[in-house]
Structure 1
Amino acid sequence: MFKKVLIIVFSLFILLFAAAAAIPMFFKEEIDAKIKSSINKNVNAKVNYKELDLSIISSFPNVGIKINNLSIIGIDSFDKDTLANVKQLQLNVNLWSVLKGDTYQINSVNLNEPNILVKVLKNGVANWDIMKPDSANLTTDSSKSTFKAAFQKYSIEQGTITYDDASLGLYMKLDSLNHSGKGDFTQDLFTLDTQSEIEKLTVKYRGIPYLNGVKLDAELPVEIDTKNMKFTFADNKIKLNELLLSAVGYLAMPNETDMVMDFKFDAKESELKNFLSLIPSIYAANFKDLEATGKFSMNGNAKGIYNEKSLPAFNVNLLVENGKIKYPSLPSAINNIQIKSQISNPNGVIDNTVVNVPSFHLEFGQVPVDGKLLLKNPVSDPFIDMALKGKLDLKQLTAIFPMKDMVLSGILDADVKAAGRKSSIDRQQYEAFKASGQIIANNFNYAGKNVPMPVSVPSAKLIFSPKNITLSNLVAKIGSSDFTANGSLNNYLSYFFNKNQLLQGSFNMLSNLVNVNELMGPKVTEATPASKESKLTVFEVPGNINFNVNAKANKVIYDNYDITNAIGTLLVKDKTITFKNMGMNMLDGKLRMDGTYATINPKKPKVDVDFGIDNMNIQKAFQAFNTIKFLAPVAKYAKGTFSTDLKYNSDLDEHMQPVYSTINAEGLTNIIEAMIDGFEPLNKLAASLSSDKFKKLELNNVVTKFKIKDGRLNVAPFDIKKDGIVMNVQGSNDIDQTMDYNLGLNLPRAMLGAKANETVNAMLGKLNSKAGTNVSVSDNVKVNAVLGGTFLKPTINLKYGIADAKSTAKEAITNVIAEKKAEFQTKAQAKLDTVKVKATEKVKDAIADKLNNLFKKKTIN
């Protein structure tokens, strides 16, 4: 009998197991269709998921619905924002509701590795507001909804949740969140027990980080009144890093815009060390070894309504008495810490917030620092009353508070006071705003991964008054650059208190070395298989400063240029740097410069400069200036010096290089002396004239006008004279190296090679044959050379001519007349005259037809 019963039980078990495995197969398509239908009916968003799995065995007595790789992307203003990306969403649904096939009852929800972005724009529009206006309420109206929420529990595993509310200036991020809650959501009044672990919690309000990467552990039971949307906090524990807090009270949301609250909080364990754990740089650096003693207390309350226009009334108190902070392995400590502070608001009006630190005192080793701070009416007309006096040893500070990836040292000796209202500054009533004191820096040094190069200030002194800050005795070094400076900053209070106010300054600056490449920031490196090239990035000129700087530098390094004896005036205003009377030595010559560099559009910087260059090395200029490389490639093959005066303007690209199609320039260049050798167009000319003498070209005091327009170089006619040769040059070339030049040569016939001479003789032979003359070529020959193609692959077209055609014609006529006189000397004078006239006309006609037609082509004089 027992055996039969066992077989029956086992058979039933197998049957139930098989049924549990089979049911999901029967309902999978139906549930998938209902989920998609419910989404389309209720949601204004793009919702996708990869696959749907069903199971009863692992979630019994519920049906487990697993939705994998779920994504929700907004529309309209949020069409590029992903509201949620969930690796796996599991819904445990009541089995009986599935079998009935009417409305599915959801008992629990689990989100595995969700990445959720909750975003609110400045106008209050939220990306989570995706429900259609006529969509059904999932929890109350089951007649219109496929799913009904009847939660007993929910959980989030390894989640990341970001809340970014631009309308309130609130930002919150929860990294590596594990959270669970248990409660009967079907009841109108129930208790929800929650547990939370957050690896990194960051909270910022109006850009100020109040919590930055803090670890949170919390056990927080909440009594929930769903009818009144009221949440009451009972005894709870909230641990932020090592600080243990407790908050009691309630939070209610009676309507869509208001949150009503009344709660109190305090620190349960009043130890200074626990409070210091909230400071990231301290907590991250061997916090367990930190010695911190002294009394610490923090408490507060908030009561009232929170919305876009108001805050609840609140009060926060913080007290430190007889504090001491020290790491055992370090020699220095902060002793005798005394701080009392209060932030209060009596009625929720933001402008009535008061920050009051009546006094604070601490000692770095044996050196005291004292101060106070009072801030009132932060919105309408801020009033500030502050003072700071003491000597701070920065190296000792970093010994007390080790700072990762940072080296800081030096002495700051401060004694400053300020008291008054912002309105006094706005009205320029500086006598009503009291500001005085000085800060002296000695041997200040700063280096770390957050700055591209070390900063060193051996000495500096700042003297404060309501109108300005006077800088004197500044000696500084930034990277390899060094500076000494003095001057003043005006309007600094308005610049500090008011947005977009102009900061004015006037400075005198001297330097032995200015490395502009370093000061402009890190270079962009583009690697290619053959090489790696470092490129500059755009230096954006600030728009809210007005500086006048008289500068002198013994050496300046900019891009590939080594500059010496630089002097001039820089005006910085309206996102533009204006150069006045700038002078410097570079590339073996002297450069004078007046002009502007503007970043009004930082994506398209512009330069507009008048240059004067004296005795600059051609080869070095070619290597230094890309403009010369692209528009005057002949300079690559020239050795010598030149001078020029030009007006230049162009756009710059993102690497501070000219946009060649935008270059416009004109000027006058004097090639003082140069030898051109190896230039392919000259090699082509030499081959065409059958003479190696044209492969090299020597220039001395050659002056030419040029113009660059829309990236094309146009050269006005100029003459080159050397060794009996006269060459007239004119034409143009483009950035793509194409050229169109005309060369007009007048040269001794002896310079022509055999082939060229044969060509000339053949032409004259045909002429004499047709004309019945015996014209010969004189010692000089004219050649027209038209250069085309590119500089690397030039083309050439030559046309020859006799240098003195008129003289040759007259000579031919005289010879014919003499011959006729000898032949007919016995004839009468009248007959001779007739023959003379006919011979003269014959020669004139023949030469006019042949020679002039041959040489009437364009020649360049």
Structure 2
Amino acid sequence: MKKVLKIVGITLLIILALLVAIPFAFQGQIKNMVKNFINQNVNAKVEFSDVSLSFIRSFPQAHITVSDLVITNFKPFEGETLATAKDIAFTMSVKELLKSADDDPIVVNSIKIDEALLTLKTNAFGNTNYDITKASENTSPSADAPNGFAFDIEDYSINNSALTYIDDISKTQMYLTELNHSGNGTFSEEKSQLDTKTTANISMTIDSTQYLNQNAIKLDALIGMNLKEQKYTFMENKGFINQLPLVFDGYIQLIEEGQDIDITFENPESSFKDFLAVVPESYSKNIETVETSGDFKVKGLIRGKVTETTIPTLDINIKSDNASFKYHDLPKSVSNISIDTSIKNETGNVDDTFVDIKTLNFKIDNDVFKSDAVIRNLTKNMLVNANIDGTLNLANITKAYPVDFDKELSGVLKAKLNTSFDMEAIETNAYERIKNAGSVNLSDFVFSSEDLINPLQINAANMTFNNGNVSLNNFDAKTGKSDFNAKGSIKNLLGFLLSDKKLQGNFDLNSNTLVVSDFMAESETAPNTANKTSAPKASLKIPDFLDCTINAKANTVLYDNLTLKNVEGTLAIKDQEADLKNLSSNLFNGVLALTGKISTKTDTPIFDLNIGADGFDIAQSFKSLDLLQSIAPIAKALQGKLNTVIKLQGTLGSDMTPNLNSVSGDAFAELLTTSVNPGEASILNKLNGALNFIDFGKLDLKDLKAKLDFSNGQVNVKPFDLDYKDIKMVVSGSHSFDQTMNYNAVFQVPAKYLGSEVNRLIGKINDNDVNQLTIPVTANITGNYASPQIKTDLTSGVTNLTKQLVEIEKQKLINKGTDKVTDLLGGLLGGTKNQTTTDSTTVKTDSTKTTNTSTVSEGVKDLLGGLLKNKKKKKDSTKN
């Protein structure tokens, strides 16, 4: 007995070893078989990482797995992925693996697909990416092609997969996610039954309109199969759209042109709760606790052929009469609900499908809302004709229905409106095809948007609709600290509400107070945030949805730290750009004029402006405007009026004020009735110390004109003239916005201001030309405005002047005779009329009427030495 058990055990081990080892012998054959099948049947690039064979997983059948399958299209979808699958497993009889190349096709009994992603596309030219099967002379499933496959499936499954369908012609997109489908039956018999189970989430959009959004669907169906006629009949089945139950009857038959369909369906119950069940659960919440009354019925018929040119006719009806519902945890109920809607196609032409909403009425509290609409041409240029008549308190929506909005709704909407349009007319602004008639009134409404930095509180809005135009009769609103009242016209309100079109219009706007930052939006990213430890501040943006012209009048406009009074002008807004035209305002006791553009299209806003100022108070303007302080910091020491024209370009910071280092442009300034306060500027105090013959507090700046240009943080001042009594001055140079400077001031100083020695010399010469003599004195100003550095050439200038005076007089004396020279030198050197001193030697000129050239030279040396010695003593007054 032991021997028998031992033999049996050894035999079992051998069989098990063979079951494990034999697949390795067939591994190459299986791979070649799969590759041959693909090459013979598929017109696409197919890749997989491995093909494995097992005799154990599906014993006694063989189990083949293709791993990491990827199918990539050829032209015209070249490079696009048609399908991927983590695993595709087949089971078949072991004997099928032993067939030679000349034998019948290999018969597959079951298929299991895991984590498949399938994308089906039809482009605008009608090409499909899933038509990848190679043409064959014999397309029968039992074709005697070597190494082919035939399918005698008993069961199949698709697990955790997804399907995408995109049709560019009909503008249809459908997405199935979390798809799980399985079926089992006997496919080898001519007539049999297939038991299927399907669950998935479905989303569907047609021509930019979303009809389904992650709606859960479920179908358990017993399907009768007639393989000879390729006809599949619904026998016992029940499906769900979200939680709405539907039962199906009818069949689908494969024909040469496509499919022949004859299906009816309806909801087996008639509670109005079935209507709420159609709404996605994330919106309808827990409908089990909802109290409902009234009925709800869905009944449909789909009959006809699906071919390249036709679809089945449709007759789907949805009705409810005098229904109501109330969520137990909400204070309001919705009552008097009447729904009568049909989805129809009577011709089989897909373009003739339409939705007829005969009645859609409801009541919340005492507010009754009625509507009807017909929507045609769903798959192309959708046509809409709708009527709205009713009152709706928007705050009651969330009190009666558990819908979540980003912001709480409020306000009362009253509408009596008929509208007729096609979507292409809205998209192309073809106003002649947009027919509107009626009125809409909105009161106490609060509108919030990511395009607005503050909510917009609409106290009252009254609009009259007339074809493609909307007359805004009154618009009284507030946002942030701003109030305004507007009238005007809107060209494409429906385009703005129903699509991504801009809000176009022309408006007259009046305001008591406007704060510019209230009308800006925060961008997602802010510029210049590198290497910062704190969170970046979002930059402000001009709303992208605005395309309008505004003729504005405002009593007060607040911009940054400026308060502008009596503002008037035109503002054209488009593509996140504001074009300012003829904007004027009272500012700094003068008048401001402004034209130019501001753009926030880029991450960093830019501006290009022309600014005119008439009669600005200098002290106020330079105290309030950083830009003016940077352009002319010395102006804070000035009192009086200013006229200026400034052209400038640059970028704006997150608070919409100029980034000074980016600013470039030029300016022309004129000073009127201006006085100087040297105590307000260190530079003037330093100049007073260095040049004691000028009192800078008494400068005459009236009618002063100056030109300058600036870029890259540097201001270049063109030479301009100043006067102080009989002293002429020319000033030029440059400074940077950080107030470092390099200026030259050239003073034409009359000789009489240069000290007593020079004045005595001039008096001795006693010549009119000499009396008018001036010398240029240059003051070089460096450092910064808080701590200026002053250097002058005053000492050298006096020395040069003295040399010139002596030379002039020497030549005059030589011509007139030596006595006069001697008398002059004696007087200049402090002696008596009759003597001069040289090297401690007294020469009496009364007894000697002649002298020689060396005596004159010595006298000149002594004169120059004395003058220079005296000037040296005063040098300290010229030091920094």
Same fold (TM over 0.5): yes
Q: Which residue of 1 aligns with 2:175?
A: 173
- Seen in structure 2, the aligned counterparts of structure 1 residues 210 and 492 have a Cα distance that, compared at 3 Å, is closer
**Aligned partners of 1:390 and 1:99: how far apart in 2?**
77
Give 1:401 shift: 0.7
1:230-260, CA deviations, whole angstroms, 9 ceiling, x for partnerless residues?
655444221111111133444566578x665
1:625-647 deviation line (CA, Å, top 9, x unaligned)? 7xx99xx6996998989874223
Shift of 1:408: 1.9
Alignment partners' CA distance in 2, 1:738 and 1:106: 88
Q: Deviations over 1:381-431 (max 9, x none)?
A: 98866433322222233221122245223322333345799999999999x
Change in 2 beyond 3 A, CA 1:38/1:387: closer
**Deviation digits for residues 778-826 of structure 1 (CA, Å, limit 9, x no counterpart):** 9975366899xx999x999999994478744423535766799669999
Counterpart CA distance in 1 for 2:212 and 2:291 is 23
Cα distance in 1 for residues equivalent to 2:129 and 2:713: 49
Larger Rg: 2
Residue 752 of structure 1 aligns with which residue?
Answer: none
Distance 2:555 2:12 in 1: 93
- In the alignment, does 2:160 pair up with 1:158? yes
CA distance in 2, matches of 1:67, 1:231: 30
2:804 corresponds in structure 1 to 810
1:325 deviates by 1.0
| Letter of the structure 1 residue corresponding to residue 5 of structure 2 | L
Counterparts in 2 of 1:743 and 1:781: CA distance versus 1, 3 Å: closer
Instruction: Check conservation: 1:541, 1:577, Cα contact below 8 A.
Output: no
Look up the match of 1:842.
Answer: none
Rounded to whole Å, the distance in 2 between the matches of 1:738 and 1:74 is 67
Consecutive unaligned residues of structure 2, counting only runs of 5 or more, are 750-773, 823-837, 859-880
Q: CA deviation at 1:355?
A: 3.8
Query: 1:498 Cα deviation (Å)?
Result: 12
| Alignment partners' CA distance in 2, 1:453 and 1:196 | 48
1-side partners of 2:277 and 2:302: how far apart?
24
The SS at the match of 1:403 is: coil
TM-score (structure 2 length as normaliser):
0.71
1:289 match: 289
How much does 1:447 deviate?
6.0
| Counterpart in the other structure of 1:342 | 342
Query: For this pair of structures, how many residues does the alignment match?
Result: 787
Could you tell me how far 1:319 is from its partner in structure 2? 0.8
Going from structure 1 to structure 2, the CA distance change for 1:158 and 1:137 (only over 3 Å counts) comes to: same
Q: How does 1:308-387 map to 2 (within 5 A)?
A: 311-349=311-349, 352-374=352-374, 386-387=386-387
Cα shift readout 1:482-541 (whole Å, capped 9, x = no counterpart) = 433333335768999999899543332425344536642454365855222213265465
Secondary structure of 2:471's match? strand
Q: Is residue 462 from structure 1 mapped to residue 463 from structure 2 by the alignment? A: yes
Secondary structure in 2 matching 1:533: coil
Match of 1:487?
488
Question: Where does residue 594 of structure 1 map in the other structure?
Answer: 595
1:169 CA drift (Å): 1.3
Q: 1:45 to 1:516 in 2, by over 3 A?
A: farther
Aligned residue for 2:277?
Answer: 277
* The 10-residue stretch of structure 1 (520-529 or 164-173) with the greater mean CA deviation from structure 2: 520-529
Q: 1:330 to 1:500 in 2, by over 3 A?
A: closer
Deviation for aligned residue 1:298: 1.4
Structure 1 stretch displaced more, 329-338 or 82-91: 82-91
Letter of the structure 1 residue corresponding to residue 160 of structure 2: Q
Give the superposition deviation at 1:289: 1.3
For residues 743 and 37 of structure 1, the distance between their equivalents in structure 2, rounded to whole angstroms, comes to 92
Which residue of 2 is the match for residue 416 of structure 1?
A: 417
- CA shift, 1:63, in A, is 4.3
Residue type at the aligned position of 2:399: A
Q: What residue number does 2:477 align with?
A: 476
Report the TM-score, using the length of structure 1 for normalisation.
0.72
Contact 1:281 1:401 in 2 (8 A): no
Q: Is the 8 A contact 2:47 2:71 kept in 1?
A: yes
Residues 438-587 of structure 1 aligned to structure 2 (within 5 Å) = 438-445=439-446, 453-466=454-467, 468-478=469-479, 481-490=482-491, 503-510=504-511, 512-514=513-515, 516=517, 519-524=520-525, 530-536=533-539, 538-539=541-542, 541=544, 545-552=547-554, 554-556=556-558, 564-565=564-565, 567-572=567-572, 575=575, 577-583=578-584
Residue deviations 1:77-117 (CA, integer Å, cap 9, x gap): 76775544544444446544445585876544433333444
Please give the alpha-carbon distance, in whole angstroms, between the structure 2 residues aligned to 1:440 and 1:427. Answer: 24
* Counterpart residue number, 2:732: 729
Match of 2:778 among 779, 782, 799: 782
| TM superposition shift of 1:326 | 0.9
Question: How many Å apart are 1:288 and its aligned residue?
Answer: 1.7
The amino acid that maps onto 1:730 is G
The 1:664/1:38 distance shift into structure 2, 3 A limit, reads: farther
CA distance in structure 1 between the aligned counterparts of 2:602 and 2:51, rounded to whole angstroms:
50
Tell me the residue number matched to 1:706: 708
In structure 2, the residue matched to 1:300 is: 300
CA contact 1:561–1:586 (8 Å) conserved in 2: no
The answer to whether residue 10 in structure 2 is matched with residue 22 in structure 1 is no
The one-letter code sitting in structure 2 at the alignment partner of 1:160 is A
Distance in 1 separating the partners of 2:76 and 2:536 = 41
Q: Structure 2 counterpart of 1:209, which letter?
A: Q
Deviation at 1:579, TM superposition (A): 1.8
CA distance in 1 between counterparts of 2:140 and 2:652 reads 59
Is the Cα–Cα contact under 8 Å of residues 568 and 580 in structure 1 kept in the other structure? no
Return closer, same or farther for 1:561/1:29 CA change in 2, 3 Å cut-off.
farther
For residues 32-90 of structure 1, what are the alpha-carbon distances to aligned partners after superposition, in whole Å with 9 as ceiling and x for unaligned? 57667876887676766666655432233344444555555557776775544544444
Change (3 A) 1:807 1:591: same
Counterpart CA distance in 1 for 2:82 and 2:29 is: 27
Give the corresponding residue for 1:774: none
| Identity %, equivalent residues | 23
Structure 1 52/443 Cα, relative in aligned 2: closer, same or farther at 3 Å? same
AA at the equivalent of 1:333: S
Moved more, 331-340 or 242-251: 242-251
Does residue 203 of the first structure (1) align with residue 204 of the second (2)? yes
**Cα 1:666/1:782, change in 2 over 3 Å:** closer
* Inter-CA distance 541–332: structure 2 relative to 1 (3 Å threshold): closer
Amino acid aligned to 1:371: S
Is the 1:562–1:587 contact (alpha carbons within 8 Å) kept by the matching residues of 2? no
SS of the counterpart of 1:277?
Answer: helix
Alpha-carbon distance in 1 for matches of 2:64, 2:408:
55
CA distance in 2, matches of 1:711, 1:246: 77
- Judged with a 3 Å threshold, the aligned counterparts in structure 2 of structure 1 residues 223 and 513 are, in CA distance, closer, same or farther, namely farther
8 A Cα contact 1:563 1:585, kept in partner: no
Tell me: CA distance 1:373–1:19, structure 2 relative to 1, closer, same or farther (3 Å).
same
Unaligned runs of 5+ in 1: 749-777, 840-861
Q: Distance in 1 between matches of 2:457 and 2:716?
A: 50
Contact 2:451/2:521, CA 8 A, preserved across alignment = no
Deviation at 1:321, TM superposition (A): 1.4
Instruction: Report the AA paired with residue 778 of structure 2.
Output: K
Q: State the partner residue of 1:856.
A: none
SS in 2 for 1:568: strand
- What CA distance in whole angstroms lies between the structure 1 residues aligned with 2:147 and 2:677? 90
CA distance in 2, matches of 1:148, 1:801: 115
Cα distance change of structure 1 residues 656 and 144 upon mapping to structure 2, 3 Å threshold: farther
Inter-partner Cα distance in structure 2 for 1:663 and 1:433: 47
Query: Which whole-Å CA distance do the structure 2 matches of 1:494 and 1:137 have between them?
Result: 52
